[in-house]
Amino acid sequence: MSTVLPKIVWFRLVLAFVLAPLVVPVGYFIFAAATGRGYGASELVGTLLNYGPYVYLFTLLLGIPTFWLLRRSGHSGLWSFALAAGLIGLLGAGLMAAIGLKVGGVLVGALAGLVAGAVFYLIAFG
């Protein structure tokens, strides 16, 4: 059984790896604002600066290898990337909570990862 894989356009792939992870800190910002913490525009920058390094670290350590594994196995569809990124988000938020870093919610990390995976797919292959 042959699988047709989307062609890699390197510029779009790099852009996807740069932009899609930013969905996670924005997700935490939206969660904090929705739970009545009175967040404004200045807190958005703080949220990006606080969560950004961790998000990019997880992208580097888990996201890039997962991309190549999914690609190699022929599972390079929207849902594959979204579910894989959701699992990475769940793992990352769970790890951050376990070592004592303040995380707004592990479920928020998983949902934000899921959305980031979908955004990644849309940028890279959309």
Residue spans per domain, the chain = 18-125
For residue 46, the SS3 value is helix
What confidence score (pLDDT) does residue 1 get? Answer: 42
Q: Are 28 and 108 in contact (CB under 8 A)?
A: yes
Q: What is the pTM of this model?
A: 0.88
56-98 pLDDT per residue, tens: 999 999 999 999 999 999 888 999 999 999 999 999 988 888 8
Query: Considering only CA atoms, which of 111, 113, 125, 110 is closest in space to residue 78?
Result: 125
6-50 pLDDT per residue, tens: 778 899 999 999 999 999 999 988 888 888 777 777 888 888 998
Say if residue 54's pLDDT is above 80. yes
Say if residue 2's pLDDT is above 60. no
Helix axes 41-58, 78-98, angle to 10 degrees: 100
DSSP string covering 15-34, please? HHHHHGGGHHHHHHHHHHHH
Burial of 100 from C-beta contacts in 10 A (0-12 / 13-18 / 19+): exposed
